[in-house]
Amino acid sequence: MLRSMYSGISGMKNFQNKLDVIGNNIANVNTFGFKKGRVVFKDMVNQSISGASGATAARGGINPKQVGLGSQVSAIDTIQTQGSLQNTGRMLDLSLSGDGYFVLANGTDISYTRAGNFYLDQNGDLVNSDGLFVTGLVGGASGQQINIPTNAKDMAISQDGTVTYIDNAGALQTAGQIQLAKFPNSGGLTKSGNNLFKPTNNSGTPVISVSGQNGLGDIQSGLLEMSNVDLSEEFTEMITAQRGFQANTRIITTSDEILQELVNLKR
């Protein structure tokens, strides 16, 4: 009797976590480069009432008898599928088709992102919306800031990430080539907020390369990757989570009614 109540409580807690993740997905449906989350459940410890016995010459075998003690959260996954691309027509809006992450630097602190809405600061450095520097190959050196002179007449970004500009004399110059990072286990990255990802012990060491190499996708200028949240899927999951929560509350209510009947036996 009491086991069923505690099983219902565990189910309610799990579905609350699931609804929290669904709510976050829906809240970020229009966040550039956002990757949705998914909650996976697993059963908890099972209490054995009797064990199994093997067959003999005179009698057949008996299966074990177990009562489950509820469920628990197995994993909260980050689904790293490709989001749809939105045409913005803005040259500094970059999207990635395929695997890979833009590499951003804040001093020695390195972060990774799929959100490619970039800008030029007052010094002509290529930065994201929070002022983190977009790094790349500059003069053969890796992990350098990409700078466009403030007196440049025009600039362009090619599919391989090469940033070029027209200098004051009208000559074509190369500012650098945007680098990308690829992880052995991208699902092992942790979200640190502000559209940024951080590596963990389970994400593996990133491979830093350029677009089109080592399985990295192409960089497309004038496009932005939207979130990979599917509203129809999220609302369906929300309905099933709500019904699951209600079913677990009913377990507690029913168990309480039976306990009440037991208490009333003395009357």
Q: Kindly give the confidence (pLDDT) of every residue in the chain, 267 residues in length, as a single tens digit, with 9 standing for 90 and above.
A: 678 888 999 999 999 999 999 999 999 999 999 999 999 999 988 888 888 888 888 888 988 888 888 899 999 999 999 999 999 999 999 999 888 999 999 989 999 999 999 999 999 999 999 999 999 999 888 899 999 998 888 899 999 899 999 988 888 999 999 999 999 999 999 999 999 999 999 999 999 998 878 778 889 999 999 999 999 999 999 999 999 999 999 999 998 888 888 888 876
What is the Cα–Cα distance from 10 to 25, expressed in whole angstroms? 23
Provide the pLDDT for residue 30: 94
Provide the pLDDT for residue 267: 66
Provide the pLDDT for residue 136: 93
Nearest to 134 by CA among 184, 175, 190, 90: 175
Which residue spans within the chain are E strands per DSSP? 37-43, 46-50, 65-68, 71-78, 85-87, 94-97, 101-106, 109-113, 119-120, 126-127, 133-138, 141-145, 154-157, 162-166, 172-182, 190-193, 196-198, 207-210, 218-221, 223-225
pTM attached to this predicted model: 0.86
Provide the pLDDT for residue 144: 92
Provide the pLDDT for residue 266: 73
Q: Do the Cβ atoms of 130 and 195 come closer than 8 Å?
A: no
Provide the pLDDT for residue 137: 93
Q: 66 Cβ partners below 8 Å, 6+ apart?
A: 46, 47, 48, 49
Provide the pLDDT for residue 109: 92
Provide the pLDDT for residue 202: 93
What is the Cα–Cα distance from 86 to 108, expressed in whole angstroms? 32
Instruction: Break the chain into its structural domains and give their ranges.
Output: 2-50+64-80+229-264, 85-225
The span from the first CA to the last CA of the chain, in angstroms, equals 21
Provide the pLDDT for residue 56: 86
